[in-house]
Amino acid sequence: MTYSSTPELIATCWTSAGNIAPLNSPEISPVPIVERLEAIASTGWAGFGLAYDDLVAARDTIGFSGLKNLIDQAGFRHVEVELLTNWWDDSLSHEWMPQFELLLDAAETLGARFIKIGTAFGEPLDDLDFLVEPLRRLATEASKRGTRIALEPMPFSMVGSMPAAAELMRSVDMPECGLVVDYWHVFRAGTSLEELSRSLTAEQIFGVELNDADAEIKGTLFEDTRDNRRLCGEGDQDVPGFIKTLQAIGFKGPWGVEILSEQHRSRPVREALESARSTALRCFPA
C-alpha cells in the first residue's frame, strides 16, 4: 500500500522501455504496452511516461481511448508524453506539426500533465530570444487541449542550462509554459544546487527527473547520458541535496525517475523498475 508520506514517483519513458535507447530507429519499446503498464503498476509507481514512437504504436493498435482505459484500470495518477523538437523552425513545420498534433491528441485523451519538448543538439546558445514566440504559440495550442508545454534544457543542446531556461521562461511569461528539471542535465551543465535555487521558481517547474552519474564523463555528453546514468544514490552526485533544493524552492512533486543506461536496459523490465523506484525513494528525507 502507498501511504501519503511516500513521494509519488513517475517512471519516465526510458525507465520502463526495456532494451531500447534514444535515437534508436524507431524508438519503440520491445515490451508490449499492456505488459509494460502492468509492470509499472505492480512495482508501485504513481504514473509513467511514453515517448513519441510508442504513442504512435499505441494509437495504431489499441488507440488512445484503449490506452486511457488501461491507465484508469491501473489507477495511475500521472501521465507524461514526449518529445517534440524543431518546433521553432517554420521551414520544418511539415515534419514537426503532425508530431505535435499527435502529442496534443495523446495529452488530451490520456490526461497528460504536459508535453515535453527539447531543442537541437549542439553548443548552447547565448541568445534565446528567437524561441520566445514559438514557445508562446505551442503553449497556446496546448492550453486549448488542457495541457501544457515543458522544455527540458540539456547541456549538449541549444538551451544548455537551467538558469538560461528559467530566464527564457520569464520572457515567455505564460503559466502554460515551464520546465522539466533533469538532475543529470543540471550537474553536467555545471550548475550548482545554489545556482539552481537562485534561478528557478516553483511555478516554472512542471516536471523533475531524478537520476545519478559518476563524476567522470564517459564518451560524449550524449553517450554518457544515454548509456551511463546510475541509479539514484549509486553515483557521485548529491541526489538528496537536489531533492531538498527543489523542495525548498516549493516543488511538491510528483517526481520522475529517468534511468538511462546499458545496464538498466539489460535487466528484465520489472526488475529494472523495482530497482529504479527503491533507490530513488532512499534519497528522500525521512
Its pTM stands at 0.96
Within 13 A of 189's CA, how many CA atoms are on the CB side?
A: 27
**pLDDT tens per residue, range 180-226:** 999 999 999 999 999 999 999 999 999 999 999 999 999 999 999 99
* pLDDT, mean over the chain: 96
pLDDT for the residue numbered 139: 98
Residue 261 DSSP code: B
- Cell numbers 553515483 label which residue? 235
The average pLDDT across 260-279 equals 98
Please return the burial class of 54, using the count of CB atoms within 10 Å of its CB with bins 0-12, 13-18 and 19+: buried
**pLDDT tens per residue, range 227-259:** 999 999 999 999 999 999 999 999 999 999 999
pLDDT for the residue numbered 5: 75
Nearest to 121 by CA among 71, 80, 85, 77: 85
